[in-house]
Structure 1
Amino acid sequence: MPRSGPRKLYKYTDEFKQTAVRLSHQPGLQVKTVATALEIHRFMLSKWRKDVRDGLIGGRAVKAPPPGPAREIAQLQALEQRYAERQQEHDLLKKPFGAVPLNGRNVRLHRRA
């Protein structure tokens, strides 16, 4: 349910947009991960990428960001991926014992009395 009341609108500078776009073009980084790290919506970053490609966002050319943030974002991306895997494992372990599929094999489980 949407919140009531006024929304906060943020105005980002062209330099910030260009830096965000250059960071999102780093090899091995996803747009979603960069947007999360910069605390912006991923659709906004995708729009900025399109605007830069079309020449709508101009201004002073910004050199590529230092490798530190890119490395940290890559580490964040790897951690998120490992977390998702662990979450799947956890969900599997929460299921009852006989509910785990055994790749189509018919196996009967007997319990001793």
Structure 2
Amino acid sequence: ARCGKVCTEVHCESPKGRPACQKSKPYQNCHATCLRHPKPVGSMNCAAFVGKPLMPACMACAKGYPFKVPECMACSPDCVKQHCRGKPGPDCNKKPEWKACHKACTLAGGPRREL
């Protein structure tokens, strides 16, 4: 059930179109990947943020990076510091340089920390 829920969140916009969407190639690929993924996926990673200001950010990560939600959440602050003078918000998230930073960081597995 977890994979169906997550892949529906990511790939199926309208409730009326869900049966057709769930037969689509992107949905099927998501579902197959999810079944092989051992960790929580998508919005399952957002339970700690329910009722908190970061919940919308977590849900955006769950939709954009369903298999890398923790990494996505961890990358935002560093990219905000680098490209938005440390001020988060919708204006920051729309900047191409923030988007590029955030995507690269998330796909690399999160921010690199010096030991």
* TM-score band w.r.t. shorter chain: under 0.3
Larger radius of gyration: 1
> TM-score normalised to the size of structure 2?
0.25
More helix by share: 2
User: Taking CA–CA contacts closer than 8 Å with sequence separation of 6 or more, which of the two structures ends up with the larger relative contact order?
Assistant: 1
> TM-score normalised to the size of structure 1?
0.25
